[in-house]
Each structure stands twice: as structure tokens, then as C-alpha cells.
Structure 1
Amino acid sequence: MRRREFVGLLAGAAVALPVSALAQPAGRRIAALWPFKETDPDGQAVFDAFRSGLKELGWGGARIESRWGGGNVETTKAYAAELVRLSPDVIFAHLNAQLGPLSRETRTIPIVFVGASDPVGAGYVASLSHPGGNITGFTLFEPTLAGKWLGLLKEVTPNLTRVALLINPDTAILRGTFYSTAFETAAAGLGIEPVFAKVFNVQDIDAAIAALGKQPGSALIVAPDTFSEVNGDLIVALANQHRVPAVYAISRYAKRGGLISYGPNQYAAVKRATTYVDRILRGERPGDLPVQAPVKFDLVVNLKTAKALGLTIAQSFLLRADEVVE
């Protein structure tokens, strides 16, 4: 084969390679900070969604340095500092309690988040359309969801008179005030007494739900944050034990025995976030990537729990559900 033909053959082979194969310098490293314990099967499922998204985009060979905070504030801070010291190419933060400490540790390493509900108000980004710094990502929840959760509870428990919003000010967005106005406004419109149940530990959760169980016509909204995720199974068990109808923001709790869940699909959101990780690894700046809202929401109803609580769920309600657990 003559030299000119050989060089032409090489050029053609290079063009035939997928873009992902050409864009990956060796040793690219991605860091991720998670709110779960490493042994949590749901945490591993979310991680799998993240890993599979990266693989589909051509980053299956990238090294992922994961740290698992397990809902502990101090542990999460320590892991945030540790990940930044590793100097990864990009960091992924799942939920606000993870993004906060990471944002304080670095203003240069790109960070992609899922779950910071008010990134502008929290000072993470300059604006949703033009973040402007080293942080961008995907929101999960907005204040108006409080009205949606309240409305769902009212549909399944017509005699509802009192609803508590369960929050931990130490881990919740804006110290638990994020949903306040929407919650109070929706409650006033439905003639329901709004209650803010502030909980900081397992004992507080037990006391708050037990108190609701002693007052007929009461129900519970479990606001999403790291604390409620880590203690989700306990909250479900206590709500059912004290016969308190509850709505959750995370679908897995309805699947595990909670009455209702309504909220964005976290697996879909995490997978969408890998597209930003991909774009940053290919040279785009996080400050140029607009913060995006969720596109997929799921309503899950646990019919078995409804029957145990003596509730009759209308067929029209069940038809709206994305999943019915029987």
C-alpha cells in the first residue's frame, strides 16, 4: 500500500469513530456526593441511573468518586471538602444539602446539581437562564407543589381539617420556609388548618406524628429533603401506625407503604443531569448552561394502605395515577 493511500485510510477511520471516543482524554474523573447511606438500595438505584446515563453518553470508562453522606450534616461537609481536594473534572451534587457545602468549598470546579429548589435565592447561580459561575443543574421542587400535595390529601380524605408539613430547618431549603406561603394559601382556600411540624431527630418525628394521630381529621405532608429521605421508611411506618394519611414527594415511599406520593421522577432528573456532565467534560462552561426544571412527575397511590386506613379512593383518582400499589 502506498503512503498516500495509507494516510487516507487512517483519516477515514478517524472520521468513522464516534464523537465520544474522540472526546475522552484518559483519566477523566467525576465526583458525586449523595444523601443516602451507601448500603441504601434506593441510593444505589439513583447512582445506577447516573452511571448508566454517563455510559450512554460515552463516559463508561470515567472514574466516579462517590461519597455517601447518609443524611449526616457534618459527614456531608467533610465529604464535600474531600471531593474538592481530589480536583475532579466535574462534581455532581444530589439535593440541596449536598450542594451547599460543595458550593462553599470551590468556586472553580464545575458542579452539576439535581434538587436545589431555589438556586438563585440560595446564591448558587446568578439567574436560571445564565447561571454565570461554576454551578448549574436541574431543580426538582417548587413552592406550588405544597398546594398540589394538600389538594391530593383533601381528595382522598374529604373530612380533612388539619395538615402538618413535616420539615427539618437544618436540612430543608430556606430553613423550611420554601413551601410556607403556598402551603398556607392553599390551606386557607380549603378551610384547613396548616401546621408546621419542625423535626430534628427521630424522637421529634415520632412525637409529631403521634400528636397528629390523636386528632381526627389530621394528615401529613412530608416535604422533600435529605432528612426526610434518610428517615422515609420510619415516617411511613409511624404514619401508618398512628393512622395518619400522608403524602410524600418521593415515589418510593408510596411503593413501600405510604398512602400517596407526587413529585418529579428523580431517576429521570439524575439521568438528565448527566447530559450537563457530558457537555462540561467536552469543554462547555457550567455558567453558560441554563438551570432546568423537571419534566416528568409521578403520582403513586398505595391502595393497600388506603384500605388499611379506611379510605375509599375514587376511581377517577386511580385513573390519574401513574402507578397503583395493591
Structure 2
Amino acid sequence: MSRWLLALLLHAAAAASAEPPSYHVMMLLYRGCEEACRGFQDHFGRQQVRARFTLRDADQDARRIPGFVAEARRLRPDLVVAWGTTVALETVGQWDAVDRSRHIADIPVVFMAVSDPLQSRLVPTLAGSGRNLAGTLYLLPVAEQLRAARAYLDFRRIGFLYNPAEANSLNSLQDLRAQASHFGFSLVVETLPIGANGQPSAGDIPGRIAALAAAGVDLLYFSPDSFLNSQRRLVTGEALARQMPVFAAAEAPVTQADALLGVLNRYDQIGRFTARLALRILREGAPPGELPIELPRQFSYLINLRVAHRLGRYPPLPLLDIAEIVGGPACTRTKGKACD
């Protein structure tokens, strides 16, 4: 073999060895590739990380998730991302009830958009899962949400639409019940019936909202529930028609529907925050079980000014110094941020 050919082969081998690794990331989703999913992938792109993403969407049908988990166990990607409480529980199980015949126990898993990983028993402590699981928080504690809501308006009766089909809904309900005596409010709950398909029906929403209004509810708490989010215009529209303000734990009911306010972390920020955690596992070899489950430090206080106008409930002036104002024609720029 000539010297120049040998040198060329050695150079090609060195270049190949210097090429950054490529990762296979499997994302198990519950309601499509929404803002958090896109934010996660966007962060990989911004960091110039070579990755192949395999997306599987349950389309709000929990019965499809076990098949996705079985596929992930067979494909053995470098990382699995579990979106939401329902998906995460089906993917890895509760920390003290792992079934190695159906759960993923030997591939790194990262969860996001889980309302309460402690209450769901995904982790025994926020200091770390102690297993192949890491994740991020995205909801402010309910007590902080309630303080923020009370800075805008007083309330004595909070209404809640309970969806038995989603773990997030039950977690939110339990959190509100735990805070009721401290904040001095009563909780009025209307339960959505579950159909043969395992989901509630949108047709039952107006009647339940009417029942909450008849019970004298002065604030409707919109929980981080995928079904309700898919019906956010209906839920918030029915409430607004009855002059019932809506407080949302997530952004879409405020920015894309008729919720009055919300204090939250934006989903795209959650996706990027979770991606940074994932890269610690993939690039640095950090053990997932030793990584703390943390909340992004930045959050947004959103006020829908168009809804405030229709309710005749304008925000106190001090809130305008910190709030992001959204809401159509009446919207103005606040804190240098454009209206949604």
C-alpha cells in the first residue's frame, strides 16, 4: 500500500473518530408534539447535538402507551422521554412498584410535564429517583398559585372539573383540598363522566360549568389536564358566559382561550430545561437517579386583558409591573414582550 493511500486512510479514520456521537431519543407523548416536545428538540438543535428522534403519540388514549413502552424496550434507544404523568407511570412505574417485565428499568428515562412526581410516586424524593429516571418540575406549588391568584382577586369558592381518566386531575384536586383551610376557601367539585372509550365527553362540560356557577363558585381552577386543555375554548367560554373567572395552571387556557390569568412555566421553556437535563445524561454520563428534580427559576404571570374587560375585573396596578399581558385587540406590550 502506498504511503499517500495509507496516510489518507489514517486521516479518514481520525476524522471519523473525532465526529460527535449521534443519539437515538424516543419520545413517548400523550397529546402530540406540543410546545414542550418542540422545545426539547430545539435545544438539541441549538446545541448542535446529533440526534434521531422517534415520536410515539398516545393521542390521549392511555391504552396505547403499553405498546409504545414495549417498542422502546425492544429498540433500546439511548434515552426515553416520557411526557406527562400518565405516560411516565406507564413507562417506569411507581418507584416502589416497578414491574421489570413491562416497565423500562435499564434505559435512561427523563420525564417532563408531570404535575407532581412525589404524589404520583414516580420518585421517593426530589433529591433524586435512585433509579434509571430523571425529570423536571413544571408546576408552581399550588400554594404559590393560590397566592398569586389572590393578589389579583379575592375568592371564597373555587370550582374544579375533575377528570377521573387523568392522574394530573386527581393530583391537582388533592393539592387544592390540602390548601382549602389555609386559604379559607371551600372547594366545589364537578366530576366528568367517563365514556366507553375511557375519556370524558365534551358534551358534558357545559352542564358541569353551569352547576359550578349555580353553586356560587367565584373562581374556576383549570387544572393541567390534557382532555380539558383540548377543550379549553369550551371550558373557559362557558365560564366566561357565566361571569366566572378562570385561573389556569398552564398557559394555553390563558393565551389561546378565555382564562383570566395563570401563573406558570411556559411549555417551551420546560422542554428546553428538560433537554439540558437529558444532555447531562447523554454527554456527561450523569446517573439519572442521582440528578435532582428541579423547577425552572423563571415563571410567567399571564393576564388576559380582553377577558378582564369582559368580566369587568381589571388587574391591580402593582401586578402590571410583573405581568405579561395577552388577549387580542385590547392587548398591549408589557415588560417588553409582545402579545400572543
Do both proteins adopt the same fold according to a TM-score greater than 0.5, normalized to the shorter chain?
yes
Q: Which residue of 2 aligns with 1:196?
A: 189
Q: Report the Cα offset of residue 55 of structure 1.
A: 1.5
Change (3 A) 1:37 1:58: closer
Distance 1:37 1:177 in 2: 22
* Aligned pairs (5 A) from 1:225-236: 225-236=225-236
Cα distance, 1:75–1:229 mapped onto 2, change above 3 Å = farther
Most deviating of 301-310 and 275-284: 275-284
Worse-matched range after superposition: 131-140 or 218-227: 218-227
Deviation at 1:302, TM superposition (A): 0.5
Matched residue SS, 1:320: coil
Tell me the SS of whatever aligns to 1:243: coil
State which of 113, 116, 140 in structure 1 corresponds to 2:114: 116
Aligned pairs (5 A) from 1:254-273: 254-256=254-256, 257-273=258-274
1:154, CA displacement in angstroms?
A: 4.0
Residues 184-263 of structure 1 aligned to structure 2 (within 5 Å): 184=177, 186-199=179-192, 200=194, 201=200, 202-216=202-216, 218-256=218-256, 257-263=258-264
Q: Is 1:106 aligned to 2:108, yes or no? A: no
- Residue of structure 1 aligned with 2:133, choices 125, 132, 135: 135
Secondary structure of the 1:62 match is: strand
Cα deviation code 1:130-174 (max 9, x no counterpart):
3221111101225x42x344344444444x33111333233124x
Equivalent residues of 2:39, 2:270 under 8 A apart: no
What is the CA-CA distance between 1:305 and the residue it aligns to?
A: 0.6
Corresponding residue number in structure 1 for 2:292: 290
1:172 equivalent to 2:167? Answer yes
| Structure 1 residue 111: Cα displacement | 0.5
Q: Deviations over 1:86-105 (max 9, x none)?
A: 22111111221221111143
State whether residues 57 and 278 of structure 1, in contact with CA within 8 Å, keep that contact through their aligned partners in structure 2.
Answer: no
After TM superposition, give the deviation of residue 250 of structure 1 in Å: 1.1
1:32 matched to which residue of 2?
A: 27
> What amino acid sits opposite 2:90 in the alignment?
P
The answer as to whether partners of 1:153 and 1:245 remain within 8 angstroms in 2 is no
Q: Deviations over 1:153-202 (max 9, x none)?
A: 444444x33111333233124x714553x534544345432223333412
Secondary structure at the aligned position of 1:141 is classed as coil
Structure 1 length as normaliser, TM-score? 0.80
Structure 1 residues 65-100: Cα deviation after superposition (integer angstroms, max 9, x where no partner): 012222222133433333333221111112212211
Structure 2 spans left out of the alignment, 5+ residues: 94-102, 195-199, 332-340
Which whole-Å CA distance do the structure 2 matches of 1:70 and 1:124 have between them? 22
Q: Distance in 2 between matches of 1:299 and 1:244?
A: 19
1:54-73 correspondence to structure 2 within 5 Å: 54-59=44-49, 61-73=50-62
Code of the aligned partner of 2:114: A
Can you list the C-alpha shifts for 1:246-299, whole angstroms capped at 9, x where unaligned?
A: 100111221123211111222112101112222222333212322222322111
- 2:281 equivalent in structure 1: 280
**Distance apart, 1:317 and its partner CA:** 2.3
Percent identical: 24
Question: Residue type matched to 1:317 in 2?
Answer: L
How large is the RMSD of aligned CA atoms in angstroms? Answer: 3.0
TM-score (norm. length: structure 2): 0.77
* Partner Cα separation in structure 2 for residue 196 and residue 139 of structure 1: 26
